[in-house]
């Protein structure tokens, strides 16, 4: 994997401690809503209940971007739930459409780029990886959310 953009040094989105969940979706206008419900169902009632709203916003933006800005037929969502943080990775089959590194600037009339500013504001780290070395096969945009872990109610 080659890191294209990260906001934290070597913050691997693929942790081995905790639970992993995966969802594959066709790239349709409904995919963002389905991914949002998937993440909500995984986090509600857990020690990560306090970050559900942020996770919903971020996964909606990343999945919607994959649908709108790529010609991928399949969107893959990977949720890694650790004891102190949650990492969500959204992969598509368009490796050369990775988000630009750093320095987002949007004006009031600009319609593109606001979702990445949302990731920058809400996530403790985020980035994108192009996977496949010499013949890249897909890209994954990931974000990590961490908050005060509270016991599940």
CA distance 110 to 133: 34
CA distance 35 to 83: 22
Q: Where are the alpha helices (DSSP H) in the chain?
A: 31-43, 52-69, 114-122
**Which residue from 48, 61, 69 is spatially nearest to 117, judged by alpha carbons?**
61
CA distance 10 to 144: 13
Residue 78 CA to chain centroid, in angstroms? 8
Q: What is the pTM of this model?
A: 0.77
Tens place of pLDDT for every residue, the chain, 153 residues?
Answer: 333 333 333 344 555 678 999 999 999 999 999 999 999 999 999 999 999 999 999 999 999 999 998 888 999 999 999 999 999 999 998 766 555 555 454 455 445 556 788 888 999 999 888 776 655 567 889 999 997 544 444
Q: Which domains does the chain have, with CATH numbers?
A: 2-146 (3.30.565.10)
């Amino acid at each position: 994997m080659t890191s294209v953009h990260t906001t934290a040094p070597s913050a691997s989105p693929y942790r081995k401690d905790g639970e992993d969940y995966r969802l594959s979706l066709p790239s349709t206008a409904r995919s963002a809503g389905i991914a949002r419900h998937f993440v909500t169902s995984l986090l509600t009632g857990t020690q990560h209940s306090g970050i559900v709203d942020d996770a919903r916003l971020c996964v909606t933006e990343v999945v919607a971007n994959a649908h709108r800005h790529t010609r991928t037929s399949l969107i893959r969502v990977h949720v890694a739930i650790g004891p102190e943080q949650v990492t969500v990775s959204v992969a598509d089959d368009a490796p050369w459409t990775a988000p630009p590194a750093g320095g987002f600037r949007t004006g009031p009339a600009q319609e593109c780029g606001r979702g990445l500013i949302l990731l920058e504001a809400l996530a403790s780290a985020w980035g994108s990886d192009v996977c496949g070395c010499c013949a890249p096969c897909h890209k994954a945009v990931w974000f990590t959310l961490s908050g005060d872990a509270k016991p599940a109610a």
